[in-house]
Structure 1
Amino acid sequence: MGHINMEDLQDFVSVPVEVAILDEHGGEKAPFVIKTIKRLGLCPDQTHLRIYFDDVYFLAVPLDSKVRKTNLEWSAIDAGGNLHYKIRKVRENE
């Protein structure tokens, strides 16, 4: 488990993904939604990674979050906010 590296998310850009924010116990705060990540960037104060779904809407994940990545899923755990961000590739059979 490491900290956020934008390169780790490049495999998830421009492909359909499911995105969710979970609580510290893995329960959903909101349901998974299907999105396409358009681009990645840093917030102005360089504390969060912005994951853009279009030119306006983005998900901001603290850079000091602990990250796990597989070929199909990227997840980050924000210890300060007790939130778990999950991005997973949409399987073609679904």
Structure 2
Amino acid sequence: MKTYKLLAADGTTVISTTPGTLGGNAKAKIYDRLDCSAANGALSKGYAEHRVFFADEENAIQAGYRPCGRCMTSQYKDWKSGPDGKESYPWKQLPK
């Protein structure tokens, strides 16, 4: 049976028989879709050593990651506009 290493909400690695639905960059704390052109283009430039995977977006957010500006544009815009005046703002990492 194939297994996958996923990053859990608390930042620990868990072994799963189900592949992750999102990828991420552990160094930049960004999560993205698995077909993200920016992430896939960076794999040959050393990005692979910082690559992590998440079961879902909730785990990525709880682990302190923010959305990718290239492949997750609507989530990125919500994150980038910040928490002010919003009823719900799930991201722990705030925009600069």
Higher helix share: 2
**Larger radius of gyration, structure 1 or 2?**
2
Q: TM-score, normalised by structure 2?
A: 0.26
TM-score, with length taken from structure 1: 0.27
